Structure 1
Amino acid sequence: MNIVDTARYPVDEPGNDAWENLVSRARTELRELGCCVLPGFIRPGSWEALRREGAGVAPLAYYDVEETNVYNIAFDADLPADHPGRIIMQRGNAFVPRDRIPTDSVIHRLYTDPSFVRFVAACFELPELHELADPLSGLVLNVVRPGMEHPWHFDTNEFTVSMLTQEPEEGGVFEYCPNIRSAGAENFDAVRSVLTDADRSPVRALTLRPGDLQLFKGRYALHRVSAVRGATSRHSAIFAYSERPGVIGSVARTRQLFGRVLPAHLDAERNAVRVDQLLD
């Protein structure tokens, strides 16, 4: 674990006092705010490698600027006139899939490190986590070019682990509304108010720096990355884990994000099981 600042974050020493205190802090912030940021998680000596490796694969991202809505559902869905799903946004971010990210890169080494996975599971108060079995979306680099944004949305997973690898000159702010919905309540009125800027009181903004580790509960938190300005793209690694092994993304969502699907996605679609009944 020589890429992590283990003096500050002893993730490879589970059970000792410093590890327990770190996990306790993360759990508290996740319970209260739905988000925890560990600044400078990556050693300063690896920051340039982190940026360079991300910049190297960023041109491989699949770009398809498209109109979308907060639930990533069809616009012709049978929705009431005032439903937030009828608010159209432009999705301008792009993803580099796992099969285009070198296995010796900083983010890949971190994603697959057993000590790191065990630490992340503990922070989310889970007995264990598994790498996503999806050959494309298990580990991705999210790329937001200047003039583009990643609009308001909810995550498919209940939790997300990410790390900024290159910050833009301006903009590209991570904004989120913790617990704006629940597994049993969509809370459409509150979601619509945020989307239309009628009420931004639930919105929190984070200043992230390269090498910061972000733990986030994104299934029930509305969130976005605001428009990037200047000449530099915003790059962030997204580490996808699941509570159960063998999880693979849907065919429709995979094709939307990467422009292609693999046999593994077609096979998984036939055996898909929903974990909730939310719109997305």
Structure 2
Amino acid sequence: MVAAQARAVEQMINAARYPLAEPEGAAWASAVSRVRDDLADSGCSVLPDFIAPSLLGALREECAKVAPLAHYDVETVNAYNIDVRSPLPDDHPGRITVKRGNAFVARDDIPADFIVQRLYSSPLFQHFVASCFGLVRVHELGDPLSGLCLNVVAPGMGHPWHFDTNEFTVTVVTQEPDGGGVFEYCPNIRSAEAENFADVRSVLTGHGGHLVRRLALRPGDLQLFKGRYSLHRVTPVRGGRARHTAILAYSERPGVIGSVERTRQLFGRVLPEHLAAEGRAVRVDALLD
């Protein structure tokens, strides 16, 4: 079984550079150590050319095939993805709203044999991710829609400032746009103990540029990111080609499911699992969603 898992992973990734099947090896330890240092410094790390170069074409084609299934809707949202009608103080950053026009393909619309599905479910890949985040293990989200999804940002659109529901997010850009589509983030702008509303408001109102970092991501790069605590966005895409990004979401705890409100925003539908979890969802903190 272990040998079969190793072969499956080695076929998908740049195994010469990232030997996931050799967790006792020096190259594996070096990669994990570098990621941990990056995450401690900024909450974000990028492993270049992680996907096997020979599979980049197939990766792009697979994701482009399901991209038309993305739920697309222009909505008014806030950085916390909570109901914009929520009663909040006048100076609360959650009262700052923007239009969001990007789209998401849910996990149940991504075939099981696609590269991103096989990578997301791989025990060896999950072990590597857990080690990078300094954990014994990570869990696939209990959410049947958002555990793995494809983000589609069409030309003229962007993904506005927001926080993630889950603590850890792993992403792979599968298709670059002609222009724009730059990932921007504010490292650890909040923590599990403190919302830090003042700095969040500063960024949302355009006065917090000193808190923002910019990151150019290429197809096949692996990004590991603490998106629950770092405000982030994708700038508007230019040209005629959309930006596609596979989002592989894990959690330190099992059973994490998105809220009904946020799930409807992202996918245009909810499932019985979301309704059953409403009001008792698993979270690792008491922050706004």
TM-score, structure 2 normalization:
0.93
Q: Sequence identity, in percent?
A: 66
In structure 2, distance between residues paired with 1:204 and 1:270: 35
Alignment of 1:34-53 (within 5 A): 34-53=43-62
1:87-140 alpha-carbon deviations (Å, 9 max, x no partner):
111111111001110111111111111110100000000101121222111110
In structure 2, distance between residues paired with 1:3 and 1:278: 36
In structure 1, distance between residues paired with 2:269 and 2:173: 25
1:182 aligns with 2:191: yes
Are the counterparts in 1 of residues 83 and 261 from structure 2 also a CA contact under 8 Å? no
Q: Which residue identity lines up with residue 118 of structure 1 in the other structure?
A: H
Q: Which residue identity lines up with residue 248 of structure 1 in the other structure?
A: I
In structure 1, distance between residues paired with 2:282 and 2:45: 29
1:267 aligns with 2:266: no
Alignment of 1:15-30 (within 5 A): 15-30=24-39
Aligned partner of residue 45 in structure 1, secondary structure = helix
Are the counterparts in 1 of residues 175 and 219 from structure 2 also a CA contact under 8 Å? yes
Deviation >4 Å, runs of 4+: none
Are the counterparts in 1 of residues 116 and 246 from structure 2 also a CA contact under 8 Å? yes
1:221 aligns with 2:233: no
Q: In the comparison of the two structures, how many residue pairs are matched?
A: 280
Alignment of 1:104-253 (within 5 A): 104-253=113-262
1:4-52 alpha-carbon deviations (Å, 9 max, x no partner):
0011111111121111111111101100111000010011110000110
Using the TM superposition, give the Cα deviation of residue 257 of structure 1 relative to its aligned residue in structure 2, in angstroms.
1.1
- Name 2:86's counterpart in structure 1: 77
Aligned partner of residue 201 in structure 1, secondary structure = helix
Are the counterparts in 1 of residues 165 and 258 from structure 2 also a CA contact under 8 Å? no
TM-score, structure 1 normalization:
0.96
In structure 2, distance between residues paired with 1:13 and 1:89: 46
In structure 2, distance between residues paired with 1:57 and 1:144: 14
Using the TM superposition, give the Cα deviation of residue 192 of structure 1 relative to its aligned residue in structure 2, in angstroms.
1.3
In structure 2, distance between residues paired with 1:101 and 1:109: 11
Using the TM superposition, give the Cα deviation of residue 270 of structure 1 relative to its aligned residue in structure 2, in angstroms.
5.8
Using the TM superposition, give the Cα deviation of residue 81 of structure 1 relative to its aligned residue in structure 2, in angstroms.
2.3
1:145-193 alpha-carbon deviations (Å, 9 max, x no partner):
0011100001111111110000100000000000111122211111111
1:208-267 alpha-carbon deviations (Å, 9 max, x no partner):
000000000111101000000100000000001122233322222212211111122222
1:58-87 alpha-carbon deviations (Å, 9 max, x no partner):
000001110111111223333232221121
In structure 2, distance between residues paired with 1:240 and 1:104: 18
Output the aligned Cα RMSD: 1.3
